Structure 1
């Protein structure tokens, strides 16, 4: 896929200082990979297509040779969705797997394939110890644009996304798990952004990746401007029926309870573009830190030591999260391409028109 423009490329002046790539991959060690499937046109025929779906894989510690805990916290603003592994993250404070994002009816396959990858990748650890794999898999619904009931995601698609994970600049819009997603009744999908946070003179990063599939047009707000009230063409929903998954990564050392608080701030981030957290939306968030690297707990001694940030230093970190989430959502829409609906057939999820958007922004001196 050729590079698509992003919010800053068209002149939207989001606050905060982004990292080099303005992506979750600005967090050192984090890699992201995609599998994107776009096949067929026309009305949906279950099991045959059209297919517009995929998998996004986030590897918080890249492809290290041994499993290490990734400290984490979760928050569900509205629970009409799924993220596996949350119970253990909430109790244990960590996870060990890649994070995979896909469509609602492919969570099981993604979980199965990610487990297989973990067992093969960390064969020695699994063979020598009684370890368990509990992957983090999350979803949003792409049934308006994809034959979701055909369950076209297979094991090889999940493994391909994991194996293709890389650092650096990553694609947005109609890619990976975000391929068939709709946001504020425009074409949505995958978006990312990051911020630099300075603590004690040392630079750290907060990075975000979203799978944006939520909201109705009237709610849409960009940098405080009620864009949705002006761009009223091509509406396709009578009420919200999507979701958003937000993944927040950082290299700032935090304890799990602090990461849970960080995950909560994603709610403020998605609210900046207008969402009230609708009833039919699964607004589910996870925050992780790549700091405090250590062996798996089963192999450690009774007492452990972790470094963590003073709670009194969190305000600029919270601000970085809110800014990055907001920009990630808009990046997803700016990068997306128009796609035909499969149900009901005959309509399209139009990409947001950059020129019309900027015209509205100028009316409000933005």
Structure 2
């Protein structure tokens, strides 16, 4: 069955009282704080499935503007990222970005392609580069059924909205595992001055990787905080999407995407051999409104990106709820009371 987008009632990092660092959080503390960026989910829970699709939709893609500056960072290329080579070669994003389950990625890409080609702006298009990323939710979901397809893609795209973003066990994060706990979808944002102009950078992540959770430098090992055995991800990967309205081009966005992958280490990722760790960065800045930032003006944007991604990664774990898989496998939610206790003991909150 397909469930509507719904947000976890569990706390986010900001709710725990952890300060944002050098840059303020955006109004929703989400990727949707970037103007014109919307997010939608379609989720499948039940009948052996915990899976889905998440859509990141930039409204700046129009009939007049057929691509946005974008780029890609490959931390470790053990994955199935459709559209990767052209994204890197041309530094351009032509479609919404969809995230899903590993074995559903090709059906999702075909459905996204069909959806975009059916729009009036693409009535005569003969080449198009859909961008679809994935992580492996096979620990909790019957991944071989390849259950995510056109119905869910259309539902996620039609549900895409601005404002608060549902996190945790929704969309592409329904069946994922991270750092020994239940993982999922997380998001965050920062407001930063770039070349004398206030800008926003937002991140959305799909977490399914191993390591030892850290929040503000405080270790929170699943082996110690859980009374049950930690969950180990299958496929061991992470997808990161960074959006900004900063005046940057495709080449510079490659540098932004690199910083997004770097941020995984701050939350305790071990970058295992089989981990597919990718970051896609794009900008909605309209070049008609002004020139580009110089490279030596980008350091604040880099720092804000790492802060936003790190918080999004943490939010994906904090908001995720305990989930029982198709054969009884269980990914446990991180115990919030024990997290609060350790953060307080360390003087973080």
Deviation at 1:348, TM superposition (A): 1.4
Q: Over residues 103-145 of structure 1, what are the superposed CA-to-partner deviations in whole Å (9 max), with x where a residue is unaligned?
A: 0001111111101111112x35432xx5312100000000011
- Partners of 1:172 and 1:189 within 8 A in 2: yes
- Unaligned runs of at least 5 residues, structure 1: 41-49, 295-304
Aligned to 1:190: 185
1:84–1:241 Cα change, 3 Å: closer
Aligned to 1:346: 328
Which of the residues 102, 105, 108 maps onto 2:106? 108
Matched residues, number: 340
- Aligned ranges for residues 54-203 of structure 1 at < 5 Å? 54-61=52-59, 64-66=62-64, 68-121=66-119, 123-127=120-124, 130-203=125-198
2:155 and 2:169 mapped to 1: Cα distance?
17
Q: Over residues 152-175 of structure 1, what are the superposed CA-to-partner deviations in whole Å (9 max), with x where a residue is unaligned?
A: 112111111011111111110011
TM-score by length of 1: 0.88
- Partners of 1:230 and 1:360 within 8 A in 2: no
1:337 and 1:237 mapped to 2: Cα distance?
13
Aligned to 1:225: 218
Deviation at 1:97, TM superposition (A): 0.4
Q: Over residues 15-50 of structure 1, what are the superposed CA-to-partner deviations in whole Å (9 max), with x where a residue is unaligned?
A: 23111110000100101111011113xxxxxxxxx1
2:231 and 2:331 mapped to 1: Cα distance?
10
Q: Over residues 78-119 of structure 1, what are the superposed CA-to-partner deviations in whole Å (9 max), with x where a residue is unaligned?
A: 111121111111111102101000000011111111011111
2:123 and 2:295 mapped to 1: Cα distance?
37
1:63 and 1:312 mapped to 2: Cα distance?
28
Task: Decide which structure has the larger Cα Rg and report it.
Answer: 1
- Partners of 1:68 and 1:293 within 8 A in 2: no
Deviation at 1:151, TM superposition (A): 1.1
- Unaligned runs of at least 5 residues, structure 2: 1-5
Q: Secondary structure at the match of 1:272?
A: helix
Aligned to 1:210: 205
Q: Secondary structure at the match of 1:55?
A: strand
1:100–1:239 Cα change, 3 Å: closer
TM-score by length of 2: 0.92
2:244 and 2:129 mapped to 1: Cα distance?
22
Deviation at 1:11, TM superposition (A): 2.2
Q: Over residues 268-325 of structure 1, what are the superposed CA-to-partner deviations in whole Å (9 max), with x where a residue is unaligned?
A: 211101113111111011110111368xxxxxxxxxx983111111111111011011
